[in-house]
């Protein structure tokens, strides 16, 4: 069994370089029995970018007005055999990425083993759920060389490594939201179909949204980010200057009054929720700017930006991994636009659930070892270029370049619209 240092997320404003240097020393002192026999064999997929044309679909919450009770199997989760978390025996003696991904795997394990059976859920299948699990914490930057006290930092993106995730899809959807767009056909043109089913004619009609055109998701997600409070007139209307541009306001407040406690992005609107194809799952982001660490180290003492997310509903297998990466990209983008460096992402969840038909693939994922680190991500254009070329309205998927990404093969989970 691998011997590793126990992990406790930092709460003090310790400079990331110092923290990583200490981690490197501990890593050198830790002893791993697996180092005697070599790392476990694992089929992997390596990529730097993903076209995302065949990605799973996300955001599976629908809150249909007419809910039809479904008959859920009464077989207990343990009937499929106890899941094993092979990552506990991985070949990495010390890795922040491994420790952080293990949080997610243990959450999934906890839901299928101890979750309450929920039979009246959408999609004609049951689910197991727990409410208000422990938060997940992710580091969004790390030293290029953790053993070098003077190493520069690199941006990290928490893409799971126990299954391959389509970063190309995630970045296109994220950029679409940042621009405040609500027309799913814009994504379909690029081969991204994460919203196709939830904006189909049949689905919109089932939600009582006959007034929306097919492909229109209503005043959800990006519309609330960029035009909160504006009257929604359809996905083709021009909303420039209407409502509150929450993203622009957060940038201004972080630059002008960094110590205030009002750096909040809200996606939930009680006035608009019934007109949305899918009400937002992550409903609140709050940002916190840490003061630069003053020291004699020859490193750039940039402020560090952390983010707390509250997500009301999390489809643990399908939607949650996408939403975590989405929040990480948002934190990196806001840090980029404020001259800071992304630091910590803390993720709170209300209803964490696993659909019963997702369990077999999830158990396969839990049996896979953790042998890879999270990849890096780079924002290609400078802050000045983004501002000069249209600000948030100019953000495109290609602005986010993924570093080397190694992961186990992808797994398929059915979307429950």
Please name the helix (run of DSSP H) or strand (run of DSSP E) that holds residue 345, with its range, or none. Answer: strand 341-355
What CA–CA distance (Å, rounded) separates 227 from 378?
Answer: 27
**116 - beta bridge partners?**
129
Are residues 313 and 351 in contact, defined by beta-carbon separation less than 8 angstroms? Answer: yes
281 to 284, 313, 338: CA distances (angstroms): 9, 5, 26
Bridge pairing between strands 405-407 and 45-47: antiparallel
Catalytic residue among 4, 47, 235, 281: 281
- How far, in Å, CA of 402 to CA of 135, rounded? 26
- Nearest one of 278, 180, 280, 173 to 230, comparing CA atoms: 180
Give the pairing of strands 136-139 and 141-143: unpaired
Residues 156, 101 contacting (CB under 8 angstroms):
no
Strand pairing category for 341-355 and 304-315? parallel
| Helix (H), strand (E) at residue 286 | strand 282-290
Within 10 A of 193 (CB to CB), how many other CB atoms are there?
17
**Catalytic annotation present for 235:** no
Structure tokens at 74: 């009464």
DSSP state of 214: T
Residues 403-417 as b/e (b if ≥16 CB within 10 A, e otherwise) read eebebbebbebbbbb
User: Cα–chain-centroid distance for residue 308?
Assistant: 12
Token representation of residue 362: 């999830």
Residues 352, 362: contact at Cβ < 8 Å? no
Answer yes or no: are the C-beta atoms of 375 and 164 closer than 8 Å.
no
* Burial class of residue 30 (count of CB atoms within 10 Å of its CB; 0-12, 13-18, 19+): middle
Strands 136-139, 377-379: pairing is: unpaired
What are the residue numbers of the active site?
A: 281
């Amino acid at each position: 069994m691998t011997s590793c240092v126990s992990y406790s997320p930092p709460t003090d404003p310790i400079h990331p370089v110092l923290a990583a240097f200490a981690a490197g020393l501990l890593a050198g002192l830790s002893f791993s029995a697996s180092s005697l026999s070599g790392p476990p064999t694992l089929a992997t997929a390596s990529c730097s970018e993903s076209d995302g044309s065949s990605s799973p679909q996300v955001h599976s919450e629908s809150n249909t007005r007419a809910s039809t009770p479904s008959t859920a199997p009464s077989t207990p989760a343990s009937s499929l055999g106890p899941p094993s978390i092979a990552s506990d025996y991985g070949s990495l003696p010390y890795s922040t990425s491994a420790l952080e991904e293990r949080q997610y795997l243990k959450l999934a394990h906890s839901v299928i083993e101890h979750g309450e059976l929920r039979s009246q859920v959408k999609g004609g299948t049951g689910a197991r759920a727990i409410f208000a699990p422990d938060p997940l914490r992710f580091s969004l930057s790390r030293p290029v060389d953790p053993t070098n006290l003077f190493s520069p930092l690199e941006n990290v993106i928490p893409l799971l490594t126990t299954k391959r995730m389509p970063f190309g899809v995630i970045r296109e959807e994220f950029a679409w939201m940042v621009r405040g767009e609500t027309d799913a056909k814009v994504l379909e043109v690029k081969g991204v179909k994460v919203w196709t089913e939830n904006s189909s004619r049949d689905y919109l009609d089932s939600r009582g949204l006959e007034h929306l055109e097919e492909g229109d998701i209503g005043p959800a997600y990006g519309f609330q980010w960029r035009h909160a409070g504006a009257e929604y007139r359809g996905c083709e209307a021009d909303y420039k200057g209407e409502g509150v541009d929450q993203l622009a306001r957060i940038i201004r407040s972080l630059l002008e009054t960094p110590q205030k406690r009002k750096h909040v992005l809200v996606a939930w609107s009680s006035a608009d929720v019934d007109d949305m194809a899918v009400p937002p799952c992550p409903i609140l982001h709050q940002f916190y700017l840490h003061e630069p660490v003053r020291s004699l180290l020859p490193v750039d003492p940039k402020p560090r930006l952390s983010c707390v997310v509250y997500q009301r509903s999390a489809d643990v297998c399908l939607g949650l991994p996408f939403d975590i990466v989405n929040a990480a990209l948002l934190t990196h983008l806001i840090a980029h636009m404020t001259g800071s460096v992304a630091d910590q992402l803390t993720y709170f969840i209300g209803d964490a659930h696993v659909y019963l038909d997702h369990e077999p693939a999830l158990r396969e994922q839990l049996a896979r070892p953790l042998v890879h680190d999270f990849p890096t991500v780079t924002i290609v254009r400078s802050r000045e270029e983004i501002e000069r070329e249209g600000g948030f309205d100019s953000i495109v998927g290609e602005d986010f370049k993924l570093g080397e990404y190694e992961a186990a093969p992808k797994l398929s989970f059915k979307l429950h619209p």
